[in-house]
């Protein structure tokens, strides 16, 4: 399991979660989602990775909430 991959998805998520520029936000959310997807593929169902997989599930839900808020904000 690569520490670089673990750091990559976390860094991507942090960037997306802290972005305030709506023009950049969509791209950053997409990049974070893809980084999480690739890390999940890398980890598989490893029992050693349960904590990280759980953290990624929470991050994925947070990204969905960010995307929803962005869409709602665009409509208001």
pTM of the model: 0.86
**Tokens 């399991």 identify what position?**
1
Closest CA to 61 of 1, 23, 17, 8: 17
40 vs 14: CA distance, rounded Å: 17
Domain ranges of the chain: 3-75
pLDDT value of position 22: 86
pLDDT value of position 64: 95
Q: Are 42 and 9 in contact (CB under 8 A)?
A: no
pLDDT band with cut points at 50, 70 and 90 for residue 6: confident
Q: Are 53 and 40 in contact (CB under 8 A)?
A: yes
pLDDT digits (tens, 9 = 90+) for 7-62: 999 999 999 999 989 889 999 999 999 999 999 999 998 889 999 999 999 999 99
């Amino acid at each position: 399991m690569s520490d670089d991959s673990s750091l990559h998805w976390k860094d991507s998520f942090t960037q997306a979660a802290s972005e305030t520029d709506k023009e950049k936000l969509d791209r950053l959310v997409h990049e974070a989602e893809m980084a999480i997807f690739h890390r999940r593929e890398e980890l598989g169902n490893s029992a050693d990775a349960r904590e990280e997989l759980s953290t990624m599930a929470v991050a994925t839900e947070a990204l969905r909430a960010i995307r929803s808020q962005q869409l709602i904000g665009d409509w208001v």
